[in-house]
Amino acid sequence: MRTSTAVVASLLTACAVFMLFAPGAAADRVIWDQSTNSVTPDSRGIFIAEPGGLGFKQLSFTSSPDWHGPPAGTPDGKQIMYTDRVSSTGVATLRLMDADGKNDKPLFEDAYDAEYSPDGSKIVFTRFVASKSIIHTISGDGKGSAASTGVEGRSPTYEPNGERIAFSASPGDGGGSEIFLMNADGSGVKQLTHTTGGSPWIDSSHPSFSPDGLEIVFSMSVSLFGLSQPPGSHLMTIDVPDPDPDPDDPDPVLTDLTAGQPNTDEHDLQPSWSPDGDQIAFFSRRQDGTTGIYVMAATVGAPATLVHDTPTTNTNPGTNWLAEPGDGDDTGSTDSAACKNAKKKLKAAQKKLRKANAALRKAKKKGASQAKIKRLKKQVKQAKKKFKQAKRKKNKVC
């Protein structure tokens, strides 16, 4: 009996979906914090699940009005860092626990929005100084004195090569927050987005780099007050400029990832790019009143899949990813000659990929011939292949 093409296609699609969300298939897992008005500890804390919702587990427990802040995984995927704030004392302690919630211990106090550097040697975080949120860094083990960058901002996150930090901050024009870039030492601050137009009712926040370092995903929110357009928050991406830009490079392209989705007049917030670069996790308040943690493919208009629902009284959870154990660099490791060489080649491959993408965007913008665009697309494909090869080599030797 001959099976129809449509049936075969349906079976293949079903198999692909099963493989994506089957137990153990999705090695990278989503982690998030949850803070409700409930006083019961089983609704407040840090949670983890596979992208398809399997393996759901609560890792930490606390009761209102205390809360556990946004989690971040160690580069090797073996531990999770989070902020524990005790409301009665006002003390916010950064803590570290194993990926299964065991061996929970304090690192140091007075830290929010903490993230590890790609090699685990540093932690970037914010600390309030004279009522301002100032970005700081400290050693990866949390020991020693924290170094202030002197830069005011929120939600700092390292570039995949560790050289720069993206964060959100007010540009000082009376508007809402924008996305900025700076060198890891706090120098060279540069405004990346210009989305608010000076309006205090628009905020661009919570940046997250793509693993190849070429794009940043963030949420752009429109407040209910002061504007005529409907309130809501979309997930946006913007190209990351080269540290040594070419004068002919086009302006960074801003893209609305959630455009074209059904029910887009809702709040999609706190995005985080998966370690493999294929998916983005985020928190969403849907039009029907439900709230939850979702994942979507990192492409425009891709459908969102529910990971797990969250209480409707929940504040906006911060999402992140816990990499497959062993995929990251060893925390605090000393680079060998082979590792340094691999990192150098990876940086060169990334630069070539960035240039190839820029050339393609420039050609499209100028209306180049289809033959030229086809040739440039081939160059981008080749550059991506070489970049992936260099990244695999770096992960293997470092």
pLDDT in tens, 290-319: 889 999 998 888 999 999 998 766 567 889
Higher pLDDT, 278 or 396: 278
Measured distance CA(385)–CA(148) in Å, rounded: 38
The tens digit of pLDDT for each residue in 329-354 reads 443 445 688 888 887 888 788 788 87
Q: From CA 37, how far away is CA 311, in angstroms rounded?
A: 9
Q: Read off the pLDDT of residues 78-98 as tens digits, 9 standing for 90 and up.
A: 999 999 988 888 889 999 999
> What does the domain layout of the chain look like in residue ranges?
27-322, 337-397
What sign for the dihedral angle of Cα 212, 266, 26, 78?
positive
Query: Amino acid identity, residue 339?
Result: C
What does the pLDDT average to over 376-391?
Answer: 85
CA distance 354 to 212: 10
Q: Looking at residues 68-77, what average pLDDT do you find?
A: 91
Distance of CA 4 to the CA centre of its chain: 42
CB 177 within 8 Å of CB 192? no
C-alpha distances in Å from residue 348, one per residue of 3, 161, 341, 378: 49, 11, 11, 19
Question: Higher model confidence: residue 58 or residue 354?
Answer: 58
State yes or no: pLDDT of 15 exceeds 90.
no
Q: Pick from 22-31, 204-213, 248-257, 323-332 the range whose average pLDDT is largest.
A: 204-213
pLDDT for res 153: 96
By three-state DSSP, how is residue 272 classified? strand
In Å, what is the CA distance from 308 to each residue of 87, 202, 298, 349? 27, 28, 19, 38
Determine the pLDDT at residue 40: 55
Token pair, residue 386, equals 């070489």
Q: Is the pLDDT of residue 103 over 60?
A: yes
Q: What is the pLDDT of residue 285?
A: 85
| Of residues 196 and 91, more confidently modeled | 91
Q: What is the pTM of this model?
A: 0.79
Count of CB atoms situated within 10 Å of the CB of 57: 12
Mean pLDDT of all residues in 215-227: 76
With contact defined as beta carbons under 8 Å apart, do 146 and 163 qualify?
no
pLDDT in tens, 261-271: 555 456 888 99
From the list 19, 92, 95, 76, the residue with the least C-alpha distance to 52 is: 19
Write down the architecture of domain 27-322 according to CATH.
6 Propeller (2.120)
Dist CA 42 CA 34 (whole Å): 10
Q: Which of 165, 205, 194 is nearest to 182 (CA)?
A: 165
The neighbour count for residue 167, using CB atoms within 10 Å, is 28
